[in-house]
Amino acid sequence: NKQSKLIKKIGLDNLFYNIEMPLVSVLLNIEYNGIYLDKVYIKKLSSELKVKIAELSENIYSMANKEFNINSPKQLSEVLFDDLNLKQIRKRSTAVEVLEILKKYHPLPDIILEYRHLNKLKTTYLDGIPKFLNNETGRIHTSFNQTVASTGRLSSTKPNFQNIPIRRDKGKEIRKAFKPQNKGWKLISADYSQIELRIMAHFSKEPALIEAFLKDEDVHLKTASLVYGIPVTSVSSDQR
């Protein structure tokens, strides 16, 4: 009773009753049906990364002139700051932002960053996600939350499908493991077309943004071309 009065008072009744509540049954169906995972493909990727991680480990040991636990911040800090005498940026921190600075002075931090990236992909996603496979359905049934993210977006847990990295090639490779189960089936992706930028263009009256939307251009390509001072046709995916 208290919430329904509050919802009406602040003008959220249309959002709550006509958008959020009808969505519950849709999300329930998605969770119940689950998603197919190509187990053979993901196992192959995991094996490939295992080899790459082993190679990086050997490189790291070679540069450090000793074997140590790369995943231990304490042991890594001893190598970086005691053995190699690198500058302590934030006491003896081995955080990503510190390693990003230190890689300018020695090649080891850069290899550590690559090792961490690949190790996380392997342990969290390639080895972690298959553990959520349901034995009866052979699919993964995540949980969608409507009231967790402060932005109003859905969040996904057990497993979190939404934080699989996509900025680098290996992350994109992992996403290929989620595919239609049968021939002729399709996965459909639907999204608002840059909804926040459209709102921003409307309120700011920014000419370049408005022109891009009116011409139905890829606004990220347009922005990148303006930032880098190059033609739209020359913009790479990373620049975009």
Contacts of 89 (CB under 8 A, 6+ apart): 98, 101, 102
Predicted confidence (pLDDT) at residue 33 exceeds the cutoff of 90: yes
The stretch 125-141 carries a mean pLDDT of 93
Predicted confidence (pLDDT) at residue 167 exceeds the cutoff of 80: no
| Lookup result for tokens 């847990």 | 157
Predicted confidence (pLDDT) at residue 49 exceeds the cutoff of 90: yes
Cα–Cα distance for residue pair 84/77, rounded to 1 Å:
10
The answer to whether 121 and 168 are in contact (CB under 8 A) is: no
The stretch 222-239 carries a mean pLDDT of 90
- pLDDT value, residue 192: 83
* Reported confidence tier of residue 20, pLDDT bands at 50, 70, 90: very high
Predicted confidence (pLDDT) at residue 223 exceeds the cutoff of 90: no
- pLDDT value, residue 195: 87
